[in-house]
Structure 1
Amino acid sequence: MTIDCRTEEGITIGLIDALISISRVLVKRDLNATKQIKEALKDLINDEDLSAILNKAKLV
């Protein structure tokens, strides 16, 4: 089945795939390198939108 990347569904799938791709690159980085990186990770943990997306993913 082919999904048109210009549709709402296609855009959503592309965004999810992008998050997965980013995670695959980010996991290999030194996330303890600097105080600024640690602060950015704290922001990530506290991000309400990311939390909502991950909670919705758990329902699938």
Structure 2
Amino acid sequence: MICGADTWVDIESYGRAKYEWLKKFLELPNGIPTHDTIARVFSRLNRRAISEMFFELGSIY
């Protein structure tokens, strides 16, 4: 969940609303990705590795 966004469409909408701010931190040569692109990227991530990473980060703090 990113800033209250529960769906890929919500994440895209957030990106469009915060585009100027996000450009300060990200290269966005093609603008904000569509919700379909965001979903494809997240579907390719290794869920176990991400879960382990967050678990390890939690143990540091």
Q: Which has the higher helix share?
A: 1
**TM-score w.r.t. length of structure 2:** 0.34
**TM-score w.r.t. length of structure 1:** 0.35
Task: Return the structure number with greater relative CO, CA threshold 8 A, min gap 6.
Answer: 2
